[in-house]
Structure 1
């Protein structure tokens, strides 16, 4: 059974896991495809992501398996959700799985965020693919 309050996306990226991992965990690259912030693959590391009109959103890394898994809390004081990035080697590339979980669909904010992010995440993953395709990545 699938939890209706969870967004699931996956995308094949024609780069090895080490390259995708670097894009997920290097602040300069992360800012180019999603949001600026001092993301680091260290359990307990606290950082904020600049979500533009939605402001700075606090995050805390809760799980790390280098080049395999990165999980962090996202907006614990408002949305209280969790974002999980899971990388699986696939041929010469990587299958990247995204899970954004914990939306409270009974609250107007939770419902609005779920709908917006559900539509937005595929576009974010497309931007990630585009950044990875650049020679400087």
Structure 2
């Protein structure tokens, strides 16, 4: 984590950008390493990620309302990631950037826009920060390792 408004993760994956891109943009694959969703890799598409249960400690209902804000195949995916809970009110942006590196891919994640003055958003940032850098990153790597091209 860089500061009170963002989360940054830098991850090397021993797979080519095309395979990593599929894991980021195919709804079924995305659900396997992140959350159930109705994502489509189309600019302007509105969708949800559904955690399946609320997180009372951070005052979120467990459903993120999202929109595809930018998409450059095998290079960049940017989405809004908003919580509709009245106490949390999180309005953030997630950007994944892919860079070829050797025989693999360097994947950068930037989750930005947390309100430094909202205690529930700060709890969300801490919770998500540890999740992005450990559990989620590991789940993505496992999915890629398990799948044959």
Q: Where on the TM-score scale, by shorter chain, does this alignment land: which range?
A: over 0.9
Report what 2:67 is aligned to: 60
Deviation for aligned residue 1:136: 5.1
Report what 2:137 is aligned to: 125
Give deviations 1:16-52, integer Å, cap 9, x for gaps: 0010000000010001101010222211000000122
Q: What SS class does the counterpart of residue 104 from structure 1 fall into? A: coil
Report what 2:58 is aligned to: none
* Aligned mates of 2:66, 2:16 — CA distance in 1: 26
In the alignment, structure 1 segments of 5+ residues that lack a partner are none
* Aligned mates of 2:67, 2:138 — CA distance in 1: 25
Report what 1:99 is aligned to: 110
Q: What SS class does the counterpart of residue 75 from structure 1 fall into? A: strand
In the alignment, structure 2 segments of 5+ residues that lack a partner are 55-61
* Aligned mates of 1:65, 1:76 — CA distance in 2: 25
* Aligned mates of 1:51, 1:24 — CA distance in 2: 17
**TM-score, normalization: structure 1?**
0.93
CA contact (8 A) 2:17 2:99 kept: yes
1:17 aligns with 2:17: yes
**TM-score, normalization: structure 2?**
0.86
Report what 2:48 is aligned to: 48
Q: CA RMSD in A?
A: 1.4
* Aligned mates of 1:135, 1:17 — CA distance in 2: 14
Name the stretch that deviates more: 47-56 or 115-124: 47-56
Report what 2:59 is aligned to: none
Q: What SS class does the counterpart of residue 44 from structure 1 fall into? A: coil
CA contact (8 A) 2:69 2:79 kept: yes
CA contact (8 A) 2:12 2:106 kept: yes
